[in-house]
Amino acid sequence: MLGVGLIRGINVGGNARVAKADLAAAFEAAGFEDVVTLLQSGNVVFRSSGAPTAEQAQAVAAALAQSSAVDAGVVLLAEERFRRIAADNPLLDVSDDDSRLVVTFLDHDLPDGVRAPDDAELAPEVVRLGDRAVYQWSPLGVSKSVLPAAFWRSLGPVATGRNQRTVARILAELDRRG
């Protein structure tokens, strides 16, 4: 079974540097095989005997802390869930720039009571909630997002975003290996 690993906050802006070899080794230490790292910001495709577990996510995080002294959140998804989240993006037709369309993947269900701010509060930005995902279109750029930090904190501790360009690259790797 193929799976996807997304590591939060590594190799972005020169912070929390983790070598690709150390990243692959952390996944192998957690029991995954045929590990391939993609791009530089903590994207991994791997094979496993079953659906990835919370214990394996903790094992990857522990291995990263040991090898690279990095404390990072780890989201593990079975191929099917990753593909479903990507396909369910309600903003694909709104976006005209894949670098400004972001999917934030969660390792858990959305907490009760979490609501996306009204479109009028965020305009021209648009946010939609999905199954273990937040979809965000930031036409002015992600760095100029007006989405309040309190919204992101309300999601819980393990969430990590990838722009649509990266999502497409991961899907291509899954297709290649499937």
- Summarize pLDDT for 55-105 with one digit per residue, the tens: 999 999 999 999 888 888 999 999 999 999 999 999 999 999 999 999 999
Q: Considering the domain boundaries, does residue 10 fall inside one?
A: yes
Residue 13 pLDDT? 63
12 pLDDT band, cuts 50/70/90, is low
Asked if the bond preceding 124 is cis, omega within 30° of 0, the reply is yes
State which of 44, 60, 81 marks the end of a domain: 81
The strand order across the sheet containing 74-78 reads: 33-38, 43-47, 2-7, 74-78
93-121 residue pLDDT tens: 999 999 999 999 999 999 999 999 999 99
User: Quick one: 40 and 74 in the same domain?
Assistant: yes
Structural domain of residue 95, as residue ranges?
Answer: 82-164
Could you tell me which residues are beta bridge partners of residue 163? 102
Domain count, the chain: 2
Residue 112 and residue 76 in one domain: no
Give domain status of residue 92, yes or no: yes
CA distance 69 to 88: 35
pTM: 0.93
- CA dist., res. 136 & res. 26, Å (int): 30
Residue 143: enclosing H or E segment and its boundaries?
none
